A and B are shown apart, each in its own frame.
Chain A
Amino acid sequence: DGGITQSPKYLFRKEGQNVTLSCEQNLNHDAMYWYRQDPGQGLRLIYYSQIVNDFQKGDIAEGYSVSREKKESFPLTVTSAQKNPTAFYLCASSTNRGEKLFFGSGTQLSVL
C-alpha cells in the first residue's frame, strides 16, 4: 500500500539531546512537509521541501533541522536548541502546489 510512514510512534528526549524523527513516503510525491501540533494551536509548519536537496523554513523552524537527500525521505532533527519540544509531529507529502496533503500517523515527542 502507498502511504507515509513515520517512526517511531513515541519518542522521549533527554535534556541536551538531539533526536531524529523519520518520515518515508512511497507515493512518488515531490513535496514533503513537517508540522508541529500543540493542543489548541492547530498545526504549525516547521520545514518543507519542494524537491530533493532543497528545503525552506516554515513558520517555526528555530531549533529544528532537516535534510532531503532522497525523494522518499525527509527526516526531522529536533536539536537541543528547541527548548519546548514536547508536541505531536506530523509529516506530510503532496504532488503539486495546492493539491491535498497526505499525512503520516505522527510521532509524539516528550521530554524526560
Chain B
Amino acid sequence: AQSVTQLDSQVPVFEEAPVELRCNYSSSVSVYLFWYVQYPNQGLQLLLKYLSGSTLVKGINGFEAEFNKSQTSFHLRKPSVHISDTAEYFCAVSGVGDYKLSFGAGTTVTVRA
C-alpha cells in the first residue's frame, strides 16, 4: 500500500513571492505521483503528474514539482504566486499500474496582497 504525508497544513504567502509545498510518500513498489488543486466548493483538477522520465515535472499555471526517489519526496513549487492561487493542494500517489490513488491531507495556500 502507498501513503502520502503533506508536511504543511497551512501556507500563508504574499503575492509574487515563491511558494513550496512539501510532500513525502511511502511505497514498497514503483509509484506514480500527482498534485491536484481544489478551489472552494469544487472538485479537484490535476496540476501535474510524474509517471516516468525526467524528475522535474512542469504543470499548469506555472507550477512545477521534482521527484526525488532517494528522499521519497515530490515537492511542489511556484516562483511567483497570484491571489488566484489561493486554494487547497493535494499530493497523491498510486502504485504503477494500480487503480487506487491515495491522497494526502491537503495544504491550504492563502495568498495575500
| Interface membership of A70, Cβ < 8 A | no
B90 touches A42 (CB 8 A): yes
Q: Which of A59-109 contact B (CB under 8 A)?
A: 90, 92, 94, 97-98, 100-101, 103-106
Shortest distance in angstroms between B53's beta carbon and chain A's nearest beta carbon? 13
Shortest distance in angstroms between B83's beta carbon and chain A's nearest beta carbon? 22
Contact of A48 among B51, B100, B103, B106 (CB under 8 A): B100
Interface size of B as a range: 20 to 34
A50 touches B99 (CB 8 A): yes
The verdict on A42 contacting B101 (CB below 8 Å), with A98-B51, A100-B46 known, is no
Which A residues form the contact surface with B (CB < 8 A)? 4, 31, 33, 35, 40-45, 48, 50, 58, 90, 92, 94, 97-98, 100-101, 103-106
A40 touches B97 (CB 8 A): no
Which B residues form the contact surface with A (CB < 8 A)? 6, 9, 32, 34, 36, 41-46, 49, 51, 90, 94, 96-106
A105 touches B90 (CB 8 A): no
- Give the residues in chain A near B94, CB-CB below 8 Å: 97-98
B44 touches A103 (CB 8 A): yes
Q: Which 5 A-B pairs have the closest CB atoms?
A: A103-B43, A43-B103, A42-B105, A42-B103, A100-B46
Shortest distance in angstroms between A41's beta carbon and chain B's nearest beta carbon? 6
Shortest distance in angstroms between B61's beta carbon and chain A's nearest beta carbon? 15
* Sample (7) of A-B pairs whose CB atoms are under 8 Å apart: A42-B104, A45-B101, A97-B98, A98-B94, A101-B44, A103-B45, A106-B41
Residue of chain A at shortest CB distance from B100: A45
B43 touches A104 (CB 8 A): yes
- Give the residues in chain B near A31, CB-CB below 8 Å: 99
B101 touches A106 (CB 8 A): no
